[in-house]
């Protein structure tokens, strides 16, 4: 308790014993600057420890997530590759069937040309025999 506070209490009618008892009570209950600094230091140490613990946990979670993402990425790549191979096989099969059909159609067209040629030659021969004699 400050000297000016003691003087004010005595001026207000408090006895010296009352002021002394009040000052002792305040001194035992009030925190000193060194008390506050000690508490601040302990809190700082605890905050640093919690911060370190949280950073460690975050780093661990980050590593686990990276590992899971990489595993999922590998699985997806494998599935995409499998689908790509299936599609390539289906496309190759479809191309082969199409080429076979085109070859058959070309052969049919070639036969039709010869047949048309024979039919026209036959019709010309009939026309010539009927109308040119």
pLDDT in tens, the chain (133 residues): 566 777 788 888 888 888 888 888 777 777 778 888 999 999 999 999 999 999 999 999 999 999 999 999 999 999 999 999 999 999 999 999 999 999 999 999 999 999 999 999 999 999 888 887 6
pLDDT reported for residue 40: 95
Clarify whether residues 35 and 100 are in a common domain: yes
Residues 95, 37, single domain; the answer is: yes
81/71 same-domain check: yes
The answer on 45 and 23 residing in a single domain is: no
Domain range for residue 45?
A: 31-104
What was the pLDDT predicted at 50? 98
pLDDT of residue 2: 64
The whole-number pLDDT of residue 105 equals 96
Number of domains in the chain: 2
At residue 29, the pLDDT reads 76
Q: Are residues 75 and 94 in the same domain?
A: yes
What are the DSSP calls for the chain, one per residue? --HHHHHHHHHTT--HHHHHHHHHHHHHHSPPHHHHHHHHHHHHHHHHHHHHHHHHHHHHHHHHHHHHHHHHHHHHHHHHHHHHHHHHHHHHHHHHHHHHHHHHHHHHHHHHHHHHHHHHHHHHHHHHHHH--
Note whether 25 and 82 are same-domain residues: no
41 and 89 co-located in one domain: yes
Q: Are residues 98 and 71 in the same domain?
A: yes
């Amino acid at each position: 308790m400050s000297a000016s506070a003691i003087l004010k209490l005595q001026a207000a009618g408090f006895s010296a014993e009352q002021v002394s008892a009040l000052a002792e009570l305040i001194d035992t209950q009030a925190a000193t600057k060194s008390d506050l600094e000690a508490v601040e230091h302990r809190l700082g140490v605890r905050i640093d420890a919690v911060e370190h613990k949280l950073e460690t946990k975050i780093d661990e979670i980050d590593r686990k997530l990276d590992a899971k993402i990489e595993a999922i990425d590998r699985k997806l790549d494998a599935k995409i590759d499998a689908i790509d191979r299936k599609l390539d096989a289906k496309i190759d099969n479809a191309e082969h069937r199409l080429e076979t059909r085109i070859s058959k159609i070309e052969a049919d067209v070639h036969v039709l040309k010869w047949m048309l040629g024979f039919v026209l030659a036959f019709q010309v021969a009939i026309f010539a025999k009927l109308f040119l004699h």
